[in-house]
Structure 1
Amino acid sequence: MKITARRTMFVPATAFLLCTALAGPAWADDETPPLASTASAQADTSAINTSPPEEPDESTTDVPSDEVDKEPAGPAEPKPLPGDVPAFRDCAPAHGVYIPTKQGRQYHKAVGPRNSNHNATSRTAKSTFTSEVTGEVGVSVSTETDVSINTMLLKIKQKFDVTVSAKLTAKLGNSISVDTPPHKTTNAVYGVWRLKHTGKSYWLHQNCTTTPEKTVVSYSPYRVGWYLWEG
């Protein structure tokens, strides 16, 4: 018996992305629970999870795609106070600094509505889901960085040997078929998996003093794929 559901979901750049495992470089994170406890930590796009995709813990803001190259202007140089000894060090030109410190889990960002297929029979049935819309997912950050988003992504790549992008597009036309057990409902959303990173950012003045260090949490596009769960 074949049960087919056809509704909107988002498609990867190529069908290859759907079929490959999400296993990337191994990383450690004290926030990462065992793989079986959360779908966003699963290593396979076709894995059937037990709950919908997790939402990020932090409140974040999406970065417009036309601003990922924008270098922050930075604050004004501090004025010397009466009696200050002229600085002997020179850090010119003044510039922003971003240092990645931790890599976290993958989080799925849907670019279309949820698709559901219920198997009301007493036998396992095949559920097929097809993406019918296209959408983009970009970088999201908890606070502004003192460097451009592209510079931040480059630093992340250098630190963790992982490629994250300023944006990825989930495209029209991708399909996936999975088994739905008797009297169960299979749910599916299509979109982009993003990697969580934590880093610190500050502005280095020409006289080598710095602004207060701030923590930046970011979610950066990693790969396109499906997220599946049963209910």
Structure 2
Amino acid sequence: MATRELSGARVAVLGASGVLGSLVTRELTSRGVRVLLVGRDPDRLAAAAGSAPTVTITDLADASAGETVTAAAREQLGGLDGVVNAAGVVAFGPLVDTPDEVVEELFLTNVVGPLLLLRRLLPLLVESRGFVAQVSAVVAERPLPEMVAYSASKAAASAVATALRTELRRSGVSVHDLRPPHTETGLADRPLAGSAPRLPRGLRPEDVARRIVDAIAAGEDDVAAAAFGGPPR
């Protein structure tokens, strides 16, 4: 388990306009990381960015998005040492009641879009012997009823990390699979469809963001939900 010096590193955060992504950005910045913020909400990106460069992606599943981010990383940062994928959407309800377009959007945002973007960014990461950090979720380990498509999309994101880690081993690129438990980001209040079931108290997003960055620095490549601890009493 090789540690990684983060100070001075150049890292793209996908989903930086979301609550967890913005907090990961803040945590990275506090450790001297030069961050490129990538997201779909330009106003929230600007609020999170400070003086850091941003890239607004209107369609994550558009292959040109990866080319745009790659160009921005080269122009703004001179390359890239890491990517944190903190983008995600959720939906609730029985599968039979979940519209086809919702299932499609879950996989486009949680799996397909990040895969297409990673394809374009990997040459930069190979150059720098950098890292990929996939933020999945506890449902990748314990899929839940009435969250079937969401659970499947997060399990797919974890599968990407596991397979990619082996594929990139000789290139020196490390891949982290991070599966936090339910976190109080407010995402459950903004589902694509359905209503959230009664959920236990979640973790503080600040704590989860810190744990994610700690894991990257410590070289932890597989961080299960249990490794994030429980919510504060």
Q: Which has the larger radius of gyration?
A: 1
Q: TM (normalized to structure 2)?
A: 0.23
Q: TM (normalized to structure 1)?
A: 0.24
Q: Which has the higher helix share?
A: 2
